[in-house]
A = this chain, B = another copy of it.
Amino acid sequence: MTLADETTLFARLRAACLDEWIAYTDHAFVRALGKGKLPEACFQRYLGQDYLFLIHFARAYGLAAFKGEGLDDIRLAAAGLDAMINVEMGLHVKFCAGWGLSEAEMAALPEANETLAYTRFVLERGLAGDLLDLHVALAPCILGYAEIGETLAARHAGELDSNRYREWIEMYASTEYRDVAKAEAAYLDRLMARRGGEGRFDSLLVTFRQATRLEAAFWDMGLKR
């Protein structure tokens, strides 16, 4: 997969925790979703918690704006925050409405421990560390979903018409989303050049591996329902 081009920081982090990465991107939840066999209650459980997740992800972009070292960093973070609040969440709410979930219902859901663990971990990394630590904590989500979308779209090409989760798969397999993921991978490389070097790899890997595990735990949570 091109996003995992071997020369990028992302590709190196991914390769260095491949077991955890596969446990996340090829999770039973993901495979069932690709085959259209995921129980709807599981998907709804996931969608509702993902709504709560996005609120904290928006906060992470706000934090990135604060931590920006110059106008370019701030602009990128502001664009990410705006996209999250005014595009992603709108799409999500619309999409969820099609699955019988209103925004008011989702906002009132109790937060699952898996949602809480992942989102607070990301925010805390961003505050204890620097902008690179923050973006490495965000990367498994942003880049993993692109890989999942691409993989499922390729694996189930020709069968998607009959898959009730088709729209979700196509969203993350889209060129638009892929461009977001590529931009994130490129930004990680720029931050790595500016904010460090090899000396940081080990500690960034600890963060990346943990965030990847927490993504897998998020799918577990979906299956529990």
Interface, chain A (partner B; CB < 8 A): 55, 58-71, 74-75, 77-78, 81-82, 85-86, 89, 107, 111, 113-114, 116-117, 120-121, 123-124, 127-130, 133, 192-200, 203, 210, 214, 217
Contact = CB atoms under 8 A, between A and B. Distances in A.
A65 B67 contact: no
A55 B81 contact: no
Contacts of A194: 199-200, 203
Q: How many copies of this chain does the complex contain?
A: 4
Nearest to A126: B66
Given A74-B55, A130-B133, A203 B69 contact: yes
A88 to B, nearest CB: 12
A199 B203 contact: no
B59 A66 contact: yes
Residue with the greatest number of chain B CB neighbours at <10 A, chosen from A77, A121, A214: A121
Contact of A196 (B71, B86, B89, B199): B199
Contacts of A65: 58-59, 61-63, 65, 81
A40 to B, nearest CB: 26
Nearest to A65: B62
Residue with the greatest number of chain B CB neighbours at <10 A, chosen from A60, A128, A129: A128
